[in-house]
Amino acid sequence: MEALSLGAQPAEYLRSPDREEHGSWLATGIVKPITVAPELDRALDLIERRAATGVEFAVGHSGASYEQVLQAVDYGLRQATHTFNGMPGLHHRAPGIIGAILTDDRLYAQVIADRVHVHPAVINLLVRTSKALPARS
């Protein structure tokens, strides 16, 4: 597993998705958005099984590679939580999560645009690389 950038999340709470645990609360239909680290064991299974039921998945607090993010997008991942925070930065030889966000039109980037969490120039970069999104229902 790659090094994770957990942001404010305590590392001792990081664990792989567990069907036994998430099955009952997802079955209620109340839980809709879930942030997941796609590189964790069973994360793709969770995305694949639940995206079809209306659960929205976002990558976040993750050290996933570019390829891992794109694979998760193929399974139903559609967003990025707190883009640039809690994830490794963009590298020209290892584009990672940021590279996937900037290049895959299937991903919607959430960003904390308070000029503290992300520098205004980087917010501008994100906006300049984004296409207009269709209206969400």
- According to the model, what pLDDT value does residue 135 have? 55
- According to the model, what pLDDT value does residue 27 have? 87
Residue 16 has pLDDT above 80, yes or no: yes
**DSSP-derived secondary structure for 76-107:** TEEEETTTTSSSPPP-SS--HHHHHHHH-TTP
Distance, in Å, from the CA atom of 96 to the CA atom of 107, rounded to the nearest integer, reads 14
Residue with tokens 């980037």: 109
11-129: CATH architecture: Alpha-Beta Barrel (3.20)
Kindly state the percentage of the chain with pLDDT values over 70: 88
- According to the model, what pLDDT value does residue 43 have? 96
